[in-house]
Amino acid sequence: MVAAIELLPETRRRDVAARVRDLRRSFGARAVIDGLDLDIDAGEFVALIGASGAGKSTLLRVLAGLDAEIEGDVTVAASRAVVFQAPRLLPWKRVWRNVVLGLPGRPDRRRAAAALAEVGLEERADAWPRTLSGGEAQRAALARALVREPRLLLLDEPFAALDALTRLHAQDLVASLWRDHAPAVLLVTHDVDEAIALADCVLLMRRGVIAEKVRIDLPRPRGAADGRFVALRAQLLGWLGVTRAAEGGR
């Protein structure tokens, strides 16, 4: 689906969803983000990888507006939504009310139902969040993010807690939702295969900056058996310091 990008008019293509210049974020004396620059175009799918503690989640939290103890210039789309590693649904509100929480006006059941239908969860609209399975809860969190029609969707390892099979389904779902709604996406992940399968562009974060960047122009859907996929995986794993390139991404 390279076409998805090309279909966007040039003017919109040049719109930015996020623009970061010389960002710094320190915890005590330790600068987790140290002079970082980042551009995300409208509609672009960017994956961010890096070792644990490299500052990926910190960067995502800054873009989400959850962390403002920063220096530097950060411009982000005003309409943005976040999906965290944990679904973070309010357990005392039924699923559909969680989905439309925070939208202006009265809670709109039909709007919630439409969003839940998109993630294949319409029959759980009246369930309590704690009765959902891990994959269902994460799909509800996706619906909650998408119902806002964000221009920038921030995904903080949203599939990390899911089992392997559910994770593959969730990745396909994100790919199709991105195709239909065309938000810019920043996906923080540990999973190299996931990054290659989904993203237009993979960034590596190291020592507080974007240290490496590679564009991925393989046709979608991307199979892990593809020779170029294998080569990319070796390259990304190499960035992460894993030399046994033949082994899987996780």
Partner 1 sequence: MDALESIRPTSARRWRTPPLLPRLLGVALVVAAWQTLSSTGVIDAQELASPGTAVATGLALVRSGVLPQAAWISLLRVLAGMAIGSLAGGGLGLLCGLSRAGEELLDAPLQMLRTLPFAGLVPLFIIWFGIGEMPKVALIAFAVAFPIYLNVYAGIRSAEAGLVEAARTLGITGSGLVRHVLLPSALPQALVGLRYSLGVAWLALVFAEQINASTGIGHLMTDARELLQTDVIVVCLCAYALLGLLSDLTVRALERSLLTWRPAYTGA
For partner 1, what does the binding mask look like between residues 28 and 67, x meaning CB under 8 A? Answer: ------------------------------------xxx-
Question: Under the criterion CB under 8 A, does residue 91 sit at the interface with partner 1?
Answer: yes
Question: Under the criterion CB under 8 A, does residue 27 sit at the interface with partner 1?
Answer: no
Distance set, CA 185 to CA 71, 90, 140, 155, 163 (Å): 23, 24, 18, 7, 23
| Piece in contact with partner 1 (CB under 8 A), picked from 13-21, 34-42, 126-134, 233-241 | 126-134
Cβ closer to partner 1: 127 or 240? 127
Give one DSSP letter per residue of the chain, joined into a string: -THHHHHS-HHHHH-EEEEEEEEEEEETTEEEEEEEEEEEETT-EEEEE--TTSSHHHHHHHHHTS----EEEEEE-SSEEEE-SS----TTS-HHHHHHTT-SSS--HHHHHHHHHHTT-GGGTTS-GGGS-HHHHHHHHHHHHHTT--SEEEEESTTTTS-HHHHHHHHHHHHHHHHHH--EEEEE-S-HHHHHHH-SEEEEEETTEEEEEEE--PPSSPPTTSHHHHHHHHHHHHHTT---TTS---
Question: Under the criterion CB under 8 A, does residue 126 sit at the interface with partner 1?
Answer: no
Cβ closer to partner 1: 128 or 229? 128
DSSP lists the bridge partners of residue 40 as 18
Q: How far is the CB of 144 from partner 1 (least distance, A)?
A: 7
Cβ closer to partner 1: 82 or 232? 82
| Piece in contact with partner 1 (CB under 8 A), picked from 9-17, 35-43, 50-58, 84-92 | 84-92
Contacts of 123 (CB under 8 A, 6+ apart): none
Cβ closer to partner 1: 131 or 243? 131
Q: How far is the CB of 127 from partner 1 (least distance, A)?
A: 10
For partner 1, what does the binding mask look like between residues 142 and 181, x meaning CB under 8 A? Answer: --x---x---------------------------------
Question: Under the criterion CB under 8 A, does residue 109 sit at the interface with partner 1?
Answer: no
- Count residues near partner 1 (CB under 8 A): 21
Question: Under the criterion CB under 8 A, does residue 88 sit at the interface with partner 1?
Answer: yes
**Footprint on this chain of partner 1 (rule: CB under 8 A):** 64-66, 80-82, 84, 86, 88, 90-93, 101-102, 128-131, 144, 148
